């Protein structure tokens, strides 16, 4: 089911700035038992993105009501939410305030093999780098060609690719965030002020670690930090927590902390 501005349709005007310039933001939200998971955090990040792009704010009550209605009765599904600057005239100028376009799409849950969660995934290092652009870092906008290029580098022989910036900092996976457990037990996830998407599951994991009285360090990470880690795991709203069993010709164990985190996210608010 897809709806655009409250109307059920599969189509969008060709003149929407979401297509013309990638001028918009989006969220991928898990639905369980009719409830969109971590919805407030998703809407918060959406709002951060709209503000960063100077897109007119939404009627949040209408959006919430549409989300509620779209999720109702869905046992286990995905809600994709896109908000663009709207249908525009020619040219980049965003000065004419347009009513934003809101798109809601509910699709079936992608059933990844259970082994990815149980015994871990193979991770590869991508050659594609992320450009440093602080103005577009952290939130989830529609300019995603770097992710497409990075994802093009690997097939089904591995499950995720790790992407660096041009300074060599490890940033994230093509569709997920990275955490490492260092040899000394510290948990670290990359700092994302220059590029990358600050995932909602990343935030939830950081909060869960805090609940476990484990500090989550957010700092720059080099390739050697990942290679020498005791354990590695990748997160996003749909995959939850995937341990990494293999990276850079090295095998990694799955410590109990990863199992505890997996257990903790089985039921999400």
Write out the catalytic residue numbers: 28, 140, 172
d(CA 74, CA 109): 10
Question: Near its own copies by CB under 8 A, which window of 22-30, 221-229, 246-254, 261-269?
Answer: 22-30
User: Is 97 or 263 the residue whose CB approaches its own copies more closely?
Assistant: 97
The label of the residue with tokens 């249908």 reads 87
How far apart, in Å, are the Cα atoms of 198 and each of 35, 107, 191?
Answer: 22, 23, 9
Q: Are strands 121-130 and 240-247 parallel, antiparallel or unpaired?
A: parallel
User: Is 140 or 257 the residue whose CB approaches its own copies more closely?
Assistant: 140
How far apart, in Å, are the Cα atoms of 224 and each of 17, 29, 78, 182, 187?
Answer: 41, 33, 35, 11, 15
Q: Binder to its own copies among 149, 222, 223, 268 (CB under 8 A)?
A: 149
Q: Binder to its own copies among 58, 94, 214, 246 (CB under 8 A)?
A: 94
d(CA 82, CA 171): 24
Alpha helices in 57-138 (DSSP H): 60-71, 114-118
Report in angstroms how near the CB of residue 62 gets to its own copies at its nearest. 19
DSSP reduced 3-state for 248: coil
d(CA 135, CA 127): 23
User: Is 54 or 185 the residue whose CB approaches its own copies more closely?
Assistant: 54
Per CB under 8 A, 193 contacts its own copies: no
The token pair at 58 is: 């939404």
Per CB under 8 A, 158 contacts its own copies: no
Per CB under 8 A, 5 contacts its own copies: no
Q: Binder to its own copies among 2, 158, 214, 223 (CB under 8 A)?
A: 2
Question: Near its own copies by CB under 8 A, which window of 88-96, 111-119, 214-222, 258-266?
Answer: 88-96
Per CB under 8 A, 237 contacts its own copies: no
Binding residues (CB under 8 A) for its own copies: these are 2, 4, 9-23, 26, 53-54, 78, 80, 82, 84-85, 90-95, 103, 105, 107, 110, 128-129, 131-133, 135-136, 141-152, 155, 166, 174-175, 195
């Amino acid at each position: 089911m897809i709806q655009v501005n409250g109307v059920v349709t599969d189509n969008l005007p060709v003149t929407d700035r979401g297509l013309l310039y990638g001028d918009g933001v989006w969220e991928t939200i898990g639905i369980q038992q009719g409830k969109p998971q971590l919805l407030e955090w998703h809407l918060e990040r959406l709002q951060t993105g709209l503000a960063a792009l100077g897109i007119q704010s939404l009627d949040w009550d209408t959006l919430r009501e549409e989300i509620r209605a779209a999720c109702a009765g869905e046992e286990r599904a995905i809600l994709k939410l896109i908000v663009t600057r709207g249908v525009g005239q020619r040219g980049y100028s965003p000065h004419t305030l347009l009513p934003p376009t809101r798109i809601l799409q509910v699709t079936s849950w992608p059933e990844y093999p259970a082994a990815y969660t149980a015994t871990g995934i193979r991770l590869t290092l991508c050659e594609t780098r992320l450009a440093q652009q602080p103005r577009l870092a952290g939130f989830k906008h529609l300019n995603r060609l770097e992710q497409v290029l990075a994802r093009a580098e690997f097939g089904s022989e591995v499950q995720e690719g790790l992407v660096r910036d041009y300074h060599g900092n490890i940033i994230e996976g093509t569709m997920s965030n990275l955490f490492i457990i260092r040899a000394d037990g510290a948990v670290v996830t990359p700092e994302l002020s220059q590029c990358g998407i600050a995932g909602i599951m990343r935030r939830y994991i950081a909060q869960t670690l805090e609940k476990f009285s484990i500090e989550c360090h957010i700092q720059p990470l080099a390739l050697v930090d990942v290679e020498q880690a005791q354990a590695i795991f990748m997160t996003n709203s749909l995959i939850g927590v995937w341990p990494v069993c293999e990276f850079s010709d090295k095998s990694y164990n799955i410590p109990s902390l990863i199992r505890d985190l997996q257990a903790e996210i089985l039921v999400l608010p």
